[in-house]
A and B are shown apart, each in its own frame.
Chain A
Amino acid sequence: MSEAVELDPAEAKMWITVTINGSKGTYLVDQRLTLADFIRKQVGLPGTHLGCEHGSCGACTIIMGDKAVRSCLLLAAQADRESIETVESLAEDGVLSPLQEAFHANHALQCGYCTSGFLMSLVARLREGPIESEAQAREALSGNICRCTGYTGMVAALMSLPTPNGQSGGAQ
């Protein structure tokens, strides 16, 4: 899973043990490496994207523990003994998750750069309970930024998800 990377001997380092998408691994990381760069470059999972790298855009959102967090605002060192989920965990054997399928069906993306962050924010949100109204959908989307497609398709995607009572479409 891990790519061979050149480690700079001048950098202070530490060992971390972290579970990523269900597989536990031990890594020697630079102390000042951000968690986002660690996931992308050292673990070799480039689905987590970097936009602003200061916490505003949400492209790098992952789930750590059970919470959606900005991986650009964490150090890899802080993920020691934590469990992480990235966008790569969503599809199984090439089959999209229902949320991804809803994005696909509702034109919720064009360039896709922001999409992985949106998906991970929404995965965490949907675990807390269903999104039942357009207002709730917009609130759930508010922590991430899309600069090309807009949010209408994403709201439609969320409204198309089945609700616990079996109906599609949440409250209209």
Chain B
Amino acid sequence: MKPSRFIYHAPTQIEEVLDLLWEYGDEAKILAGGQSLMPMLNFRLLAPAHLIDINRVKALNQYSLSDSGLTISALARHRDLELSPEVELAYPILHEGLTNIAHVQIRNRGTICGSLAHADSAAELPSIMMALDGQMNVRSKSSRRIVPAGEFFRFHLTSDLDSTELLESVFIPSMKRNSVGAFDEVTRRKGDFALVGAAVVGTWSERGTIEDCRIVCSGVAPTPLRLLEAEELVSGTDLSEEVLVAVQQLVMESLEPTEDVHTSAQYRKKVTGVVVRRGLARLAEQRSVVNV
């Protein structure tokens, strides 16, 4: 048998899930898509006494798009969102990120909220969620709270959730008029976790300058990392070639990325400059599309 012993729970109502979390807390893990948790159980890196499978909770298996934004519940799967033309139209950067997640067999099961709660610092969705200023709707038996994406990721594989809390849904506000985004990453093979990734979002002003730019990198720090200096450098510019060269230089000089078995800090430093530049270049390309 691969995993350690656990007691399996298959609740059908959200309230039951919250009751179980309240009762077992530290001893329990939520099983959604299982594409990260099951490998950890199979390796016995984790050995929870209780496994709470939320796959039978129908109320969590949905997403909804409105004028104010996109709400994605805990069980909505990568593939469901990826195949939605409405989601692709409203958030091209999210669609792009989803297609970069592993392979279709994984995306068929994996969930958006599960990826976020797993908080892998090299994953695509955490950085995209920060770039889009998403909000985490967190719920326990006794409380509800909203955590901005920027405060949700605490460390590699560690989120702000406490052991009684469920990430019930995430909310992504609508992109403003003339807002554009791009996601780029460097991987050894297609479908791998990124060595470095960059989610870039900005709004073209009437004057032809990029404003409210957000640049969030994955794979370079224990959490997704906002590059505030780089954002400041490009905001208010027209993203000309000179600006792109300058921002690439700034990122390569200022970043102090992590080193691990996958690659060196030196390589990450260099490549982060490249992916940030590529992302921003794509915002520049989209300027004509938004008719500024």
Whether the pair A77, B10 counts as a contact (CB closer than 8 A) is: yes
In the bound complex, CA of A67 to CA of B34 (Å): 15
Tell me if B106 is interfacial: C-beta within 8 Å of chain A.
yes
Give B123-179 interface residues, CB cut-off 8 Å to A: none
CB contact between A72 and one of B4, B38, B55, B104 (< 8 Å): that residue: B38
* Contact partners of A75 in chain B: CB under 8 A: 8, 38, 53
Give B1-25 interface residues, CB cut-off 8 Å to A: 1-8, 10
Whether the pair A53, B5 counts as a contact (CB closer than 8 A) is: no
**A103 → chain B closest CB, angstroms:** 19
* Chain A: CB-nearest residue to B8: A31
Whether the pair A121, B3 counts as a contact (CB closer than 8 A) is: no
Tell me if A68 is interfacial: C-beta within 8 Å of chain B.
yes
Whether the pair A78, B2 counts as a contact (CB closer than 8 A) is: no
Tell me if A34 is interfacial: C-beta within 8 Å of chain B.
yes
**B32 → chain A closest CB, angstroms:** 11
CB contact between B39 and one of A54, A61, A77, A78 (< 8 Å): that residue: A54
In the bound complex, CA of A73 to CA of B4 (Å): 14
Tell me if A109 is interfacial: C-beta within 8 Å of chain B.
no
In the bound complex, CA of A74 to CA of B1 (Å): 13
Tell me if B208 is interfacial: C-beta within 8 Å of chain A.
no
Whether the pair B43, A143 counts as a contact (CB closer than 8 A) is: no
Whether the pair A32, B108 counts as a contact (CB closer than 8 A) is: no
Whether the pair B106, A70 counts as a contact (CB closer than 8 A) is: yes
Give B95-118 interface residues, CB cut-off 8 Å to A: 102-106, 108-109
Tell me if B240 is interfacial: C-beta within 8 Å of chain A.
no
* Chain A: CB-nearest residue to B103: A143
Tell me if A37 is interfacial: C-beta within 8 Å of chain B.
yes
**A13 → chain B closest CB, angstroms:** 10
Tell me if A12 is interfacial: C-beta within 8 Å of chain B.
yes
Tell me if B42 is interfacial: C-beta within 8 Å of chain A.
yes
CB contact between B35 and one of A31, A55, A77, A78 (< 8 Å): that residue: A55
Looking at chain A's contact residues, is the secondary structure mostly helix, strand, loop, or mixed?
mixed
Tell me if A170 is interfacial: C-beta within 8 Å of chain B.
no
Interface size on B, residues (CB 8 A): 27
- Please, what's the 1-or-0 string for B201-230, where 1 marks a CB less than 8 Å from any CB in chain A? 000000000000000000000000000000
Given contacts A73-B34, A77-B10, contact A68 B104 (CB under 8 A): yes
* Chain A: CB-nearest residue to B4: A32
In the bound complex, CA of A14 to CA of B7 (Å): 11
**A155 → chain B closest CB, angstroms:** 15
* Contact partners of B42 in chain A: CB under 8 A: 34, 53-54, 72-73
* Contact partners of A123 in chain B: CB under 8 A: none
* Chain B: CB-nearest residue to A58: B105
Given contacts A73-B109, A74-B38, contact A142 B8 (CB under 8 A): no
Given contacts A37-B1, A68-B104, A121-B105, contact A55 B38 (CB under 8 A): yes
Whether the pair B53, A77 counts as a contact (CB closer than 8 A) is: yes
Whether the pair A37, B39 counts as a contact (CB closer than 8 A) is: no
Most buried by A among B2, B104, B105, B190: B105
**B182 → chain A closest CB, angstroms:** 21
Tell me if A69 is interfacial: C-beta within 8 Å of chain B.
yes
* Contact partners of B79 in chain A: CB under 8 A: 67
Whether the pair A61, B1 counts as a contact (CB closer than 8 A) is: no
A-B contact pairs, 19 of them (CB 8 A): A12-B8, A32-B1, A32-B2, A32-B8, A34-B42, A37-B1, A53-B42, A55-B38, A69-B109, A70-B105, A72-B38, A74-B34, A74-B38, A74-B109, A78-B55, A142-B103, A143-B103, A143-B104, A143-B106
Q: Using a CB–CB distance below 8 Å, which chain B residues touch chain A?
A: 1-8, 10, 34-35, 38-39, 42-43, 53, 55, 79, 102-106, 108-109, 190-191
Q: Using a CB–CB distance below 8 Å, which chain A residues touch chain B?
A: 11-12, 14, 30-34, 37, 53-55, 58, 61, 67-70, 72-75, 77-78, 80, 121, 125, 142-143
Contacts A32-B5, A34-B2 given; 9 further ones with Cβ under 8 A?
A12-B8, A14-B8, A32-B1, A32-B3, A32-B8, A37-B1, A70-B35, A72-B2, A78-B55
